[in-house]
A and B are shown apart, each in its own frame.
Chain A
Amino acid sequence: MTAAVEMSGVRKAFRGKEALRGVEWSVPEASVCGLIGANGAGKTTLLRLALGLVRADAGSVVVLGERLGLENASLRERVHYVASDRAMAPGYRVDEWVRYASLAYPRWDTVRAGRLLGALELDLRRGVGELSAGQRTSLQIVVAAASRPDLLLLDEPTNGLDVVVKTQVLQLVIDMAAAEGTTMILASHHIEDVERLADRLAVLYDGHFVLQGDLDAIKARMHRLQVVIPGDWPVELEKDPTVVRVERQGKVAVLTVDGPPEPVAELCRRHGAVLVESIDLDLAEVFRIVLGKEGYSRAQLQWNVE
């Protein structure tokens, strides 16, 4: 399978502070890759690298078969970047910005643009600067869809969208990926969006990937067991390297296992467990576990502490 994005040994520093340190990343064509990470992990930098806007200090970046150079404008005809929560195109009305985009993108689809502008109820005569954050994101989505990109980079695309528009936008993205085989990279803190859209997952922490691969495979690798052990708590469980998290409340415990669950279940039964059952593990929990292993955690905030 060919890669839409291939990064090797990529490093990037801003004012002496390393944002990316030796990134190795491959996103197969026609896949939807969820990119998650803690705040400041380097997600936006990574997307801007893939867009050819920011230049890497070291390493190689190949996007849609093109090794990135100085301008990369021809690449951006096929790669589109959508980011919410920012000012965009001040001084333009919606129709003027769409007009500009129609001139800039060679594969512009006028019919699709018109249809989406209507569906998202964007007023063509309004200034872009007057739009709400959600409307600005909607406009970006319209332009992205009408430019028919091969690679769509989505940076927190659902921020500021109400539930109805969010559903509309996500469905559009899913349709684009399915109908046109558009490769998508979705950077988001909304893990439920990632879980819904992505077939691959990459977890970025402190400027490097700590986990990447097929989403189902990643989820299949991690398990959660609820056990009830009336007797003494078996110390072996604490020492088992596959048991990455233990939450105990009296005799009941929830174990998170990174690997096959059967050996751990068997160990529990040997120590007199009266109940061993598998419970669902969501992606948010996987994210917490993976980052927890890297040492990323926060103390629980206490209200009204002197």
Chain B
Amino acid sequence: MPSSSGTSSSRPGSFLAPAARYRELHVNRTVYILGALVLVGPWVAWLMQLQAELHAPAVLLDAMGHGTVHSLLASTLAGFASGSPTFNTFTVLAAAAFGVALFGYDRSAGGLLYTLETPLRRRDVFAAKAIFGGTVVVLAIALGIAGTLVAAALSGNLALTGPILLRGLFAVTGQLSLFATALALGGAVGTVFSGLAIAFWAGLPGLLSGLLTMLFVPVSYAVPTTVGAAVASPAGIASLAQALPNLSPFSPAGIGLWSTADVLALIAWFVAWTAFMLWQGSRWWQLAPFERLGDGVFFPFLWNLYYAYLSLASGLFVTTLVTHGTVRGPEWALIYAAAFVAGWFFWRLAVTRQGRRAAWRHAVSART
């Protein structure tokens, strides 16, 4: 007597189908575990620092100019609440890399395309990653914030509870916005491209260009630059490295210190951005043509963004080399624009030629 069991993966009213849940946790469990470890890592280091300070000997406290543990931790926790130590590029990139990896690993090793032949809704695939991935990000930060609050309580710094919670909320929403962006891109484009896009989002081209410039341009040059809306002081190479992140309003790498109102506004922005990216990412993932799901870029027009990305980075580098810090303001911007346009055509030609060569090789191997 045949018996039926199981539930429809697309049953109306079910938010996340059991099959999607089972598949996601089965296929990507390694990514979730590794992601959790990487995201928790900086917080563990931070909590170890607090632990050490809680047990700092009197000699060390005197040497550091703090009479008591309360005073030392008040200073450390206030620094934390103002945003300096932990919400750094590493944790930002870790959240982004985690988002990219959830689709990247699935595509390369998880048989994602094969499972789409079953009654699995694409939006459920996306929703499962968003829910489980988002939970990992939130739990990692919640763990860090909880430990920080315990340290504040143990050292008698309960007055810092509010700022610490605000800092935690900022970290959660900020990292979630990056995670959501990475997930959306990971679903809409291939792993390499989404990785590059996320690196751009986090301001990596500016940092990379700054590092390259340091290698090739004598440090004695002060580089007074005005890039877009961001006015950098003539403080040398570092300002150049910061210039591009400042262009990206969503890049936490380009944000300085703020008032509580600024932070709350930014938190609201992060929440809105996260919601938008999750919605848009799900839509992109649903629209991506099946036959292109194995490609680097699912939508051909996205190649233009790829060229733009490379041109932004190479243009900044070339402009700095050409001007040697002797040009500023609109003139600098003009040279940069020219380098950007030239770079766009250069990268387009290079990528197209590479694609043709690959297609030719493929055709030859198919014939033989």
Asked if A111 and B117 sit within 8 Å, CB to CB, the answer is no
Question: Does B9 sit at the interface, judged by CB under 8 A?
Answer: yes
Contact of A100 among B23, B109, B121 (CB under 8 A): B23
Interface size for B (C-beta < 8 A) is: 36
A53–B111 touching, CB < 8 Å: no
Kindly state the separation between the CA atoms of A281 and B286 in the bound complex, as whole angstroms. 48
Q: Is the CB of B18 within 8 A of A91?
A: no
The answer to whether A111 and B3 touch (CB under 8 A), given A74-B119, A90-B109, A103-B19, is yes
A196 to B120 CA separation, bound complex (whole angstroms): 33
Closest partner residue, chain A, to B113 (CB atom) = A53
- When chains A and B are docked, how far (Å) is the Cα of A101 from the Cα of B286? 21
Fill in one digit per residue for A111-122: 1 if any B CB lies within 8 Å of its CB, else 0. Answer: 110000000000
Q: How far is the CB of B362 from chain A (nearest CB, A)?
A: 11
Contacts of A105 in B (CB 8 A): 6, 9, 118-119
Does the CB pair B10–A77 fall under 8 Å?
yes
* Chain B residues, Cβ within 8 Å of A70: 286-287
Question: What separation, in Å, do the CA atoms of A106 and B6 have in the docked complex?
Answer: 5
The CB with the most chain B CB atoms within 10 A, among A73, A105, A109, A112, is that of A73
Chain A neighbourhood of B10, CB < 8 A:
71, 73-74, 77
- Whether B116 and A91, one on each chain, are in contact in the complex, defined by CB atoms closer than 8 angstroms, is no
- Picked from A54, A88, A100, the residue with its CB within 8 Å of the CB of B22 is A100
Q: A89-B115, A92-B26, A96-B26 are in contact. Are A103 and B109 (CB under 8 A)?
A: no
> Mask for B5-18, Cβ within 8 A of A = 1, else 0?
11111110000011
- Which of chain A's residues have a CB closer than 8 A to the CB of B8? 74, 77, 106
Q: Mark A91-134, 1 if CB is under 8 A from B, else 0.
A: 11000100111111111111110000000000000000000000
B301 at the interface (CB under 8 A from A): no
Q: A90-B111, A109-B3, A112-B2 are in contact. Are A101 and B118 (CB under 8 A)?
A: yes
A88 to B112, CA, bound (A): 9
Shortest CB distance A88–B (Å) = 5
A71–B22 CA distance with the chains assembled, in angstroms: 20
Q: Which residues of chain B in 25-49 are interfacial with respect to chain A, using CB atoms and an 8 Å cutoff?
A: 26-27
Total of A-B residue pairs, C-beta within 8 Å:
106
- Is A14 a contact partner of B291 (Cβ separation < 8 A)? yes
Chain B hits for A104, CB < 8 A: 6, 9, 17, 19, 118-120
Q: Are A109 and B27 CB-contacts (below 8 A) given A73-B119, A100-B22, A103-B18?
A: no
Q: Are B5 and A108 in contact (CB under 8 A)?
A: yes
Whether A219 is near chain B, meaning CB under 8 Å from some CB there, is: no
Partner of B109, one of A73, A91, A107: A91
* Bound: A42/B115 CA distance, A: 22
Q: Which residues of chain B are near A209, meaning CB under 8 Å?
A: none
Minimum CB distance partner of A89 in chain B? B111
Judge whether B291 and A54 touch: CB under 8 Å. Answer: yes
Q: Which residues of B contact A55 (CB under 8 A)?
A: 289-290
Contact B290 A48 (CB under 8 A): yes
B114–chain A nearest beta-carbon distance, Å: 5
Contacts of A53 in B (CB 8 A): 116-117, 290
Say yes or no for A76: interface residue by CB 8 A criterion: yes
Contact assessment for A73 and B120 in the assembled complex, using a CB-CB cutoff below 8 Å: yes
Residues of B within 8 A of A90 (CB): 109-111
Question: Which of A14, A88, A103 is within 8 Å of B6, CB to CB?
Answer: A103
| Residue of B5, B10, B118 contacting most chain A CB atoms (<10 Å) | B118
Q: Is B324 an interface residue (CB 8 A)?
A: no
CB of A87 within 8 Å of the partner chain:
yes
Can you list, as one digit per residue, whether each of B275-315 has a CB less than 8 Å from chain A (1) or not (0)?
Answer: 00000000000110111000000000000000000000000
Q: Which residues of A contact B26 (CB under 8 A)?
A: 91-92, 96, 100
The reply on A51 being an interface residue by CB < 8 A is yes
B220 at the interface (CB under 8 A from A): no
B52 within 8 A of A: no
Q: Does A25 contact B (CB under 8 A)?
A: no
Between-chain CB contacts (< 8 Å), 8 pairs: A71-B122, A77-B8, A88-B114, A90-B110, A91-B27, A106-B7, A106-B8, A108-B6
**Given A71-B10, A71-B122, A100-B19, 19 other A-B residues pairs in contact with their CB atoms under 8 A:** A48-B290, A73-B120, A73-B121, A73-B122, A76-B119, A77-B8, A87-B111, A87-B114, A92-B111, A99-B22, A100-B115, A104-B6, A104-B9, A104-B17, A104-B119, A105-B9, A106-B4, A106-B7, A106-B11
| Nearest 5 interchain pairs by C-beta | A108-B6, A104-B19, A106-B8, A103-B19, A73-B10
Q: Report A's interface with B, CB cutoff 8 A.
A: 14, 48, 51, 53-55, 70-71, 73-77, 81, 86-92, 96, 99-112
